[in-house]
Amino acid sequence: MVEKTKVSKMGGRQIPLHRDPKVRAVAFQAAAVLFFVWSLWTIGSNTVANMEQRGIVLGLSWLDKLAPFQVGFSPFLDNVLGENTYWRIFFIGVQNTIYVSVFGIIAATLLGFVIGVMRLSPNWLVAKIASAYVEIFRNIPLLLWFFFWYFIVFLPILPGVRESISFADAVFINKSGLYLPRPVTENIGAAVVFLLICTATIAGVVYLTRWAGKRQDRTGEQFPVLPTSLAILILVPIAGFYASDSPYSLEYAQLGAFQLSGGINLTTEFFVVWFALTTYTAAFIGENVRGGILAVSHGQTEAARSLGLHHGQNIKLVIIPQAMRVIIPPTISQYLNLTKNSTLAIAIAYEEIASIWMGISLNTTGQALIIIAMTVGVFWTLSFLTSALLNWYNKRVQLTER
Amino acid sequence: MSEFTPIPAREPPASSVGVVGWLRTHLFSSWFNGALTVLILWSLLLIVPPSLQWLLGDASWSGGRSDDCKTDFVSPEDGETYRVDAPGACWTFTKVRFMQIMFGLYFAANPSEVWRPVLMFSLFGGLITPLLIPKFRWKWQLGMFTLLVFPFIAVALVHGEWLGLPVAETNEWGGFMLTFFLAAGGIVLALPIGVVMALGRRSELPIIRSLCVFYIELWRAAPLITILFMASNLLPLFFPSGVDFDKVVRALIAITMFQSAYTAEAIRGGLQAIPKGQDEAASALGMGYWRKTGFITLPQAMKISIPGIVNTFIELFKDTTLVGIIGLHDFLGSAQIAARSPEWKGYDFEAYVYVALIFFMCCFAMSKYSQHLERKLDTGHKER
């Protein structure tokens, strides 16, 4: 205390206002806020003036109007020409984005793991092939891959509608995509019973796996989990299907004049988007997997060996659980990248949010501001969810570490 | 007493050294690996020679018309002779349309002006090469010149108005040159914004920090296509009527915004890697925030974030192809248009292969350079 007063008196003067850190902090932040508000206000007032001048009414009522076009691909939501409001078009777009992303994420994870493990293979040729794969896919733009797979590979090799490749008249492949039989039901009650049986089966298998793990921890006895659960997963639903009076029948695709109708149609565009996203993202995930496995120190393998674990057990119980901690965070960001990259589908007209919402709907309504804001909002939500997931995972991993 | 001499070690068995040993450990270490090796070699044999034959051996290089890529074919049915596509690649196409694919429509239509982009690229090459030489002395000065002065020279040369040359309007720019302008312009403009945002995100002032986080996450969360759509549809709304940008400038603004967020994150990574002691030592010497940042932390952080910035630049360079979707004729777009012209219809495979090869060479070289830098800069300073 004494020291302090002495010092301030020794100078004989106060700190000048512009040197006081507190004053400076407040001034800087106030300036930043003022600048931010000013830019928002300028942009806002310009936008309002410009929209008035162009005769665009700012509002949401147009979202309830009917859209004058139909979406070709919608796996879940109803989609009938002349009955789709713009709201529905938006949700179909979101649905299609998520649909292709989910399939892409699953396939890219599997392929990425294969590539990552191949890069570490003791076989020189296998490792080189995998690294060639990674370099080729990473260094060529994704849009070029889209064009290449669509215009050069898949459209030319797929046959026309008349020459469809068919398997037992149930599955068809032609230029407009893959046709699968659709399960349809007339007996809703029986269908619900059947779905309940399926859910219960899955729950039962999960319980069995946990029980077997606990028993092994307690007694050391092993239970053949894999064959048992496979048998349960296959046999119980089949038995349930007949027990609940066969609620589903299959609707096959029929060859019409110009196209096949009925059944489930996975369009060529869907397939190409899925294929291009998968092969491209797998290269990045492969690098994550390789990095994660390399990050586990060799001492872990040596320790596992000296405990008597064999090679498979070492990989499964020692290397993979530790590598996962390194692999998963960057891989989750890759999942987000894949979802964002699915907007490139606009180039080959797969009907996801960028192409039917930001493309077609924007052209038919001219409501650029709201349409783009909604599109960005979708991706904000997705990326917020992703970072929440990442934070949750990082916290969980840290807890198990201590 | 005779001195102890160990018997010289025996030579290792011939099967574990040399070519045979290498083959045994790397290709045939077990029956499974052996089978895999044979399988891969067999499929490579099926794929590689025919591809090379198509790419080089059977390819047509000469001539100037699409007929030079065709060959006579005598139909076994009616005995008539038809002109059909030759079995190899048609590089005559990329040769004839080279100017369009590289420099866009204006310079393809005015061959006498092609020296301008060529000179621009040569100047760029001349500026970049000494920067890659580790022992070059004036690196810092030259780097600043490339960042601050060269962009104006490049625009002056290609656009031509400032130098009194015939004007090449930006909407006639295209090809590899446009891709280069968008990617390089994007990174040059994004760097200062990125530095400011990275410093802001590390700031102790809560409002500044949250504004910077908002800015960075705003652009990072949205796909580039939505930002390009924003620029082409919303930008005219945001400015007073009368202020209008052409398409290229709009795309450049979008790319700059997008890239500045990624650059900011790369620089933030660099700032985080600087040990806290550096900052504390500077404080102990009585330096204020700006001097600490300008003389101590930022120079070190910029140096270690170069690999990260190069990596984001590679992504940007590939992503510039997306401007094709908002109607610009970039490298990929120009090649596609050239392959859809009436004369060269049907040669899109050649166009894609050509564009892919050039993208691959550029990106591969840059990623190798960034890996090299990363190893060189890894002096053990980073917190692990």
Hey, how many other C-beta atoms are within 10 angstroms of the C-beta on A362? 18
The predicted pLDDT at position A59 comes to 82
Domain extent for A298: 86-139+268-401
**Could you tell me if A292 and A339 lie in one domain?**
yes
As a whole number, mean pLDDT of residues A183-187 equals 79
Distances from the Cα of A32 to the Cα of A29, A132, B191, B219, angstroms? 5, 49, 20, 19
Confidence check: pLDDT of A4 > 50: no
Within 8 A of B43 by CB-CB distance, chain A residues are none
Highest mean pLDDT among A27-41, A161-175, A217-231: A27-41
> In angstroms, rounded to a whole number, what is the distance separating the alpha carbons of residues A39 and A29?
15
CB B229 within 8 A of CB A374: no
CA A202-A205-A208 angle, to 5 degrees, is: 155
Determine if the pTM surpasses 0.90.
no
Per-residue pLDDT reduced to its tens digit, A302-361: 999 999 988 778 888 898 888 988 898 899 999 999 999 999 999 998 999 999 999 899
B/e letters for A218-253, b = 16+ CB within 10 Å, e = fewer, are: eeeeeeebeeebeeeeeebeeebbeebeebbeeebb
Q: Are residues A289 and A367 in the same domain?
A: yes
On whether both A30 and A91 belong to a single domain, the answer is no
Residue contact A147–B230, C-beta within 8 A: no
Cα separation of the two ends of chain A: 43
- Does any CB of chain A come closer than 8 Å to the CB of residue B360? yes
Residue B205 in contact with partner chain A when CB distance is under 8 A: yes
Distance between CA atoms of A379 and A340, rounded to whole angstroms? Answer: 7
Is the model's pLDDT at A12 over the cut of 60? no
Tokens of residue A105, six digits: 């994420």
Backbone φ, ψ for residue B286 (5° rounding): 90, 20
Q: What CATH number is associated with residue A330?
A: 1.10.3720.10
List CB contacts (< 8 A) between B206 and chain A: 29
Indicate if A386 and A336 belong to the same structural domain.
yes
In chain A, residues with a C-beta closer than 8 Å to the C-beta of B314 are: 139
- DSSP 3-state percent helix, strand, coil across chain B (nearest 5): 70, 5, 25
> How many interface pairs between A and B have CB atoms less than 8 angstroms apart?
142
Q: What is the pLDDT, as a whole number, of residue A303? A: 94
Residue A372 with chain B: CB contacts under 8 Å: 226, 229-230, 233-234
Q: Residue B1 above 90 pLDDT?
A: no
Mean pLDDT throughout A15-22?
Answer: 79
Predicted confidence band at A174 (pLDDT cuts at 50, 70, 90)?
confident
Q: How far apart are CA A188 and CA B143, in angstroms?
A: 72
pLDDT of residue B79: 79
The upper half-sphere exposure of residue A349, i.e. CA atoms within 13 Å in the direction of its Cβ, equals 7
As a whole number of angstroms, the distance between CA A176 and CA A161 comes to 8
Q: Tell me what ipTM this predicted complex has.
A: 0.90
A336 to chain B: closest CA residue: B221
Residues of chain A positioned with their CB less than 8 A from the CB of B31: none
Residues A31 and A90 both lie in one domain: no
**Of the candidates B36, B211, B348, which has its C-beta nearest A123's C-beta?**
B36
What single string gives the DSSP state of each residue in B222-288? S-HHHHHHIIIIIHHHHS-TT----HHHHHHHHHHHHHHHHHHHHHHHHHHHS-HHHHHHHHHTT--
- Pair (A19, A135) in one structural domain: no
Residue A373: phi and psi, rounded to 5, are -60, -40
- Quick one: which of A93, A140, A344, A340 has its CA closest to B323? A344
Q: How far is CA B214 from CA A91, A382, B86, B207, B266, in A?
A: 27, 16, 57, 10, 16
pLDDT at B116: 93
Q: Which residue of B has its CA nearest to A132?
A: B364
Are residue A278 and residue A394 in the same domain, yes or no? Answer: yes
What is the reported pLDDT for B88?
84
Among B223, B233, B364, select the one facing A139 at the smallest CB separation: B364
- Best probe of the B interface among A29, A135, A335, by most B CBs < 10 A, is A29
| pLDDT at res. A321 | 87
Convert the pLDDT of each residue in B293-303 to its tens digit. 999 999 999 98
State pLDDT tens for residues B259-273: 999 999 999 999 998
Is A125 within 8 Å of B211 when comparing Cβ atoms? Answer: no
Contact B336 A135 (CB under 8 A): no
Q: Is B349 on the interface with A (CB under 8 A)?
A: yes
Mean pLDDT of chain B: 89
**Which residues of B, range 238-267, sit inside 8 Å of A by Cβ?**
238-241
- Reported as a single tens digit per residue, the pLDDT across A224-251 is 888 888 998 888 888 888 887 777 777 7
Give the pairing of strands A165-167 and A254-255: unpaired
Cα(A63)–Cα(A81) distance, rounded to whole angstroms? 16
Task: Output the pLDDT for position B383.
Answer: 42
User: pLDDT band at residue B134, thresholds of 50, 70 and 90?
Assistant: confident
**Is residue A399 predicted with pLDDT exceeding 60?**
no
Q: Does B221 touch chain A (CB under 8 A)?
A: yes
- Contact status of B54 with chain A (Cβ, < 8 Å): no
Confidence of residue A11 (pLDDT cuts 50, 70, 90): low
Q: Is B356 on the interface with A (CB under 8 A)?
A: yes
Residue at A288 is within a domain: yes
Distance CA A291, CA A314 (A): 18
Q: Give percent of chain B with pLDDT exceeding 90.
A: 51
- Cα separation of B324 and B73, whole Å? 38
Provide the 10 A C-beta neighbour count for residue B252.
Answer: 20
What tens digit of pLDDT does each residue of B203-252 get?
Answer: 889 999 999 999 999 999 999 999 999 999 888 888 887 777 888 999 99
Q: Provide CB contacts within 8 A for B237, sequence distance 6+.
A: A46, A47, A50, A51, A368, A369
**Which residue does chain B place closest to A23, by CA atoms?**
B205
Inter-chain residue contact A123 with B208, CB threshold 8 Å: no
Question: What value does the mean pLDDT take over residues A380-391?
Answer: 90
Q: How far is CA B272 from the centre of its chain?
A: 26
Residue B113 has pLDDT above 60, yes or no: yes
Residues of A in contact with B205 (CB under 8 A): 25, 28-29
Interface test with A, best of B39, B234, B331 (most A CBs within 10 A): B234
Report the distance separating Cα B239 and Cα B244, nearest Å: 8
Report the pLDDT value the prediction gives residue A247, as an integer from 0 to 100: 74
Structure-token match 């009522």, residue found: A61
Asked if pLDDT for residue A292 goes beyond 60, the answer is: yes
Q: Flag whether A107 is in a domain.
A: yes
Residues B221, A380: C-beta atoms closer than 8 Å: yes
Same domain, residue pair A334 and A382? yes
User: Is residue A67 domain-resident?
Assistant: no
User: What chain B residue is nearest to A124 in terms of C-alpha separation?
Assistant: B26
Residues of chain B in contact with residue A124, where contact means CB-CB under 8 angstroms, are 26-27
Same domain for A32 and A92?
A: no
In a 10 Å sphere around its CB, with 0-12 CB exposed, 13-18 middle and 19+ buried, how is residue A36 labelled? middle
Q: In 3D, which of B94, B49, B50 has the Cα closest to residue B68?
A: B94
**A26 and A110 together in one domain:** no
Residues forming CATH 1.10.3720.10 domain(s) in chain B = 169-377
A18 and A133 assigned to the same domain: no
Q: Which residue of B has its CA nearest to A28?
A: B208
Do A43 and A110 have their domain in common? no
Among A147, A148, A358, pick the best mutation site for testing chain B contact (most B Cβ within 10 A): A147
Confirm whether A229 is domain-assigned. Answer: no
A-interface mutation test, from B27, B205, B225, most A Cβ less than 10 A away? B225
Q: What is the mean pLDDT of residues B136-147?
A: 88
User: What is the SS3 string spanning chain A?
Assistant: CHHHHHHHHHHCCCCCHHHCHHHHHHHHHHHHHHHHHHHHHHHHHHHHHHHHHHCCCCCCHHHHCECCCCCCCCCCCCCCCCCCEHHHHHHHHHHHHHHHHHHHHHHHHHHHHHHHHHHCCCCHHHHHHHHHHHHHHHCCCHHHHHHHHHHHHHHHHCCCCCCCEEECCCEEEECCEEEECEEEECCHHHHHHHHHHHHHHHHHHHHHHHHHHHHHHHHCCCCCHHHHHHHHHHHHHHHHHHHCCCCEEEECCEECCCCEECCEEECHHHHHHHHHHHHHHHHHHHHHHHHHHHHCCHHHHHHHHHCCCCHHHHHHHHHHHHHHHHHHHHHHHHHHHHHHHHHHHHHCCCCCHHHHHHHHHHHHHCCHHHHHHHHHHHHHHHHHHHHHHHHHHHHHHHHHHC
Could you tell me the pLDDT band of residue A1, with boundaries at 50, 70 and 90?
very low
In chain B, which residues have their Cβ closer than 8 Å to the Cβ of A32?
A: 207-208, 211
| Tokens encoding A150 | 């669509």
Q: What is the pLDDT of residue B271?
A: 92
Token match 């050294």: residue?
B17
**Residue A13 pLDDT more than 70?**
no
pLDDT digits (tens, 9 = 90+) for B94-110: 888 999 999 988 998 88
Q: Which of A61-70, A72-81, A116-125, B278-287 bottoms out in mean pLDDT, i.e. has the lowest? A: A72-81
Of A43, A53, A347, the CB nearest to B325: A347
Contact between A354 and B225 using a beta-carbon 8 Å cutoff: yes
Other CB atoms within 10 Å distance of the CB of residue B233: 19
Query: Min CA distance, A298 vs chain B (Å)?
Result: 18
pLDDT average, residue stretch B3-25: 84
Cβ atoms within 10 Å of B5's Cβ, excluding its own: 6
Q: Does B217 touch chain A (CB under 8 A)?
A: yes
CB contact under 8 A, B223 and A383: no
Is pLDDT of A6 > 60?
no
Strand order across the beta sheet in which A177-180 lies: A165-167, A171-174, A177-180, A264-266
Instruction: Give the per-residue pLDDT at B315.
Output: 94
Question: CA A24, CA B91: separation in Å to the nearest integer?
Answer: 65
Q: Does A50 have pLDDT greater than 50?
A: yes
| Option in B238, B239, B360 nearest A139 (CB) | B360
| Number of domains chain A is built from | 2
Q: How far is A163 from chain B (nearest CA, A)?
A: 23
Question: Which fold does the domain B169-377 belong to in CATH?
Answer: MetI-like fold (1.10.3720)
**Closest Cα partner for A353 from A10, A95, A155?**
A95
A383 within some domain: yes
Residue in A with minimal Cα distance to B367 = A139
